[in-house]
Structure 1
Amino acid sequence: MAVSEAVEAAPTRRWGRVLRFGAVLTSILLLLFGVPWWTLVVSGAAWPTGAVVAGTVLFAVALLAFPALMVLGHGPRRVDAAAVAGDTALGVIWVLFVWAIAGNVLRLVLTAASVTDPTRSRVVAVAVLAVSAVLVAWGYVEAMRVPRVRRVDVAIPRLGAGLDGLRVVLLTDTHYGPIDRAGWSARVTEVVNGLDADVVCHTGDIADGSVDQRRAQAAPLGAVRARLARTYVTGNHEYFGEAETWLGHMRELGWEALHNRHLVVERGGDRLVVAGVDDRTAAGSGLAGHRADHAAALAGADPELPVLLLAHQPKQVAAAVAHGVDLQLSGHTHGGQIWPFHYLVRLDQPVVSGLSRHGERTQLYTSNGAGFWGPPLRIFARSEIALLTLRKG
């Protein structure tokens, strides 16, 4: 191929990718908004004309406004009011979509029971609206509440007797964002400080936005107490813009930023390596020196000592197994956050929530996280602060 032909072909391929992405995105949005619209408004319920028109206009306006709100709220301008509106719309339409599908299963049951329209479609519409309204209200309360404490004992065979009973608190995925949760952050810190931790870990996704935007919400992290260490690693959201700034800010707040490095804590004459690696997306961020580097994180560590590793995503456990890690702490999944999204999370991650074993030595604890991403909803995926008590197994 001539050079001129190659130059012409490159923009063509790029435009082809853009058009395919646009087509896929448009199809997804039409499905998300279209299924609830059909189920609630026009499926055979024979609502009055005014109600059908009003419902159709409402769904059409929401469909057209949604992309603009998301771009305005999460694009370069980061307008918080637009982000809140777009994120809330996403959560509500997801819940309506899921339960509209369930409602159409109910339609089949009613059809088998010889219930005809318009009664059948009206029963389905009312059921979908009622269930969705209850779940959205409950999900909002769950998202905004102070996380519950989840207590787990973890047996580690290589743990020294002096470290038996070591209390490790995992606080992750705080996602300080466009909804001001400075008060929530302060109450979370109070809960953490009440757990009498030896080590406190934050495995990333501190915030959605810059340090300047979220400084007040993150400030209570400076008051977190731990006897031996407060440790932090980056999550994927830090690499949306200000990973270096967040690393520096956490250091200013008194946390040890484990940027592909480790420290050693000691109690009762026994020692534990606490290591951390960057998020797996760091390599694609363009930041020099940022990538998940387990070898660098463990360089110089005594191979006879047990290793506690902080890594944002559960799927990083494969490298942890290869490097002989005893326990990896992760977040990222939010436990799915809004049911049944956890099925999609499971396609990308080896674990969605809880304690799991990988290989002969390595265990992984995956936290549901303390905050939420995007929609201010948590449905059947409660937030948590994890208290892990290490036991000599």
Structure 2
Amino acid sequence: MTATSSIRSADDEARAARRSRLRRVMRYIPLVAPVLLWAVPCWVLLYGGQHWPLPVTLTGTALFALGLVGMPFAMGRGHGRRQQDGAAIVGDTLLGTGWVLFTWSVLLGVLLRLALTLAGVGGSQDRARIVTWAVLGVSAVLLAWGYAEARRVPRVRRLDVQLPRLGAALDGTRVALITDTHYGPLDRARWSARVCEAVNALEADLVCHTGDIADGTADRRRAQAAPLGTVRATRARVYVTGNHEYYSEAQGWVDLMDELGWEPLRNRHLLLEQGGDTLVVAGVDDVTAEASGLEGHGAHLEGALDGADPDLPVLLLAHQPKFVDRAAAAGIDLQLSGHTHGGQIWPFHHLVGLDQPALAGLSHHGSRTILYTSRGTGFWGPPFRVFAPSEITLLVLRSPRRPA
């Protein structure tokens, strides 16, 4: 076995171990997480030595109990069989609020209390009350800011990506990437239209959507997705499915995107040709497709590249970054992905990192493959983005043989 093979084998084993740990953690999350999300901040804010008046303690406890019971109930009605958008909004908002309160109750409940103690500030009750107001203040600011961040039109992130095999005639090819729009219970038709206007302003040659268009069926979210039909590209508009399509009748989304003028790259490719040089643009279904049971759906890289000249550079669309293992083994030049949302609400990115090899931005895999992971254009579930801003991405492809 060569040194390179040993390194790759060790990397594969490390990724497998991370995924195994994630599966073990995920098994218990539905039972433990709701209790922790509400019990920890309840204790830190009300029972950690503050000695609030009894009405304050009882009212606060009742609110936390309401959150503990109401969040899973509302999410069940919103995202379960009933698909009630109002309930989904309430449940998702409670989930995001609980996560922020939990995070800062833990951090400030330990670090700030320790700092106050070391500084000799007040007695234990004074320190406890300072911690309480600090947690409430920080959480309120982050939730307000995170809501504004989630609802705004994403800023454009621009970067050059050099592909050693890209022909000189294709130097400067402009690729716009949107992903994880997650049209859902909150009506974002106007937001969708403004996102499409921002994409059109980039005057891209190729526009890509790497999946998770919406939460809900194509019929239900058609009005929010309709502005995608206004997106312009000089060469092509291409789309691949994400895992959320497979929760919501994926074929309906494939058909709607085709109707809106996008080309679904379902394990197939097209060619971008310019001045005698060619770029293969390929796409695969999401890795969850095969388990969905939908006939003909599954991630098949071999099918996506079938008939393509192996000497040509390849740009691959795959929803989840973890597909890069297969892409690197096949010698793909550039993979574009989404899925991670950059963590969406800090510090959730630590859990995302257990399942995915990259969180956001450019990363290199194997001897040739470059992966770009977008933080996503929209948001899933909780209408907040905290320290994980959304993005529209413009990648300018560069050739080492660019014309003078």
Deviation at 1:269, TM superposition (A): 2.4
Q: In the alignment, is residue 117 of structure 1 matched against residue 124 of structure 2? A: yes
> Per-residue displacement from partner, 1:359-386 (whole Å, max 9, x unpaired)?
1111000001100001000000100000
- 1:136-193 deviations in whole A, cap 9, x for unaligned? 0000000000000000100001101110000000011000000000000000000000
Amino acid at match of 1:107: R
- Match of 1:79? 84
Q: CA separation in 2, counterparts of 1:107 and 1:166?
A: 54
2:358 & 2:331 partners in 1: Cα distance? 19
Separation (CA, whole Å) in 2 of partners of 1:26 and 1:283:
28
Residues 23 and 297 (structure 1 numbering): CA distance in 2 closer, same or farther, change over 3 Å?
closer
Structure-1 separation of matches of 2:153 and 2:161: 24
Structure 1 unaligned segments of length 5 or more: list them.
Answer: 1-19
2:350 aligned to which of 343, 368, 374: 343
Distance in structure 2 (CA, Å) of the matches to 1:282 and 1:198: 29
Does 2:136 match 1:129?
yes
Q: Indicate the SS of the match to 1:386.
A: strand
Q: Which residue of 1 is the match for residue 93 of structure 2?
A: 88
The reply to whether residue 108 of structure 1 matches residue 108 of structure 2 is: no
Q: Percent identical across equivalent pairs?
A: 64
In structure 1, what is the equivalent of residue 391 of structure 2?
384
Counterpart mapping for 1:271-290 below 5 A: 271-290=278-297
Which residue identity is paired with 1:92? T
Aligned match of 1:182: 189
Aligned counterparts, 1:313-328, within 5 A: 313-328=320-335
1:164 maps to which of 145, 165, 171 = 171
Extract unaligned runs of 5+ from structure 2: 1-24
TM normalised by structure 1 equals 0.93
Query: What residue is the counterpart of 1:34 in the other structure?
Result: 39
What is the alpha-carbon distance in structure 1 between the residues aligned to residue 78 and residue 275 of structure 2? Answer: 51
For residue 124 of structure 1, what is the amino acid of its counterpart?
A: V
Runs of 4+ in 1 over 6 A off after TM superposition: 20-23
- Answering whether residue 55 of structure 2 is matched by residue 50 of structure 1, we say yes
Cα shift at 1:210: 0.8
Residue 239 (structure 1) aligned to one of 237, 242, 246: 246
* Counterpart-to-counterpart distance in 2, 1:355 and 1:111: 43
For 2:398 and 2:346, locate their aligned partners in 1 and report how far apart those are by CA, in whole Å.
Answer: 33
For 2:263, which of 256, 261, 266 is the aligned residue? Answer: 256
Matched residue, 1:309: 316
Q: Which residue of 1 aligns with 2:231?
A: 224
Letter in 2 for 1:199: L
CA distance in 2, matches of 1:80, 1:43: 37
Q: Cα deviations across residues 229-280 of structure 1 (Å, max 9, x unaligned)?
A: 1000000000112111100110000000001110111122211100000111
Pairwise CA RMSD: 1.3
Aligned pairs, number: 374
Counterpart among 142, 145, 151 of residue 144 in structure 1: 151
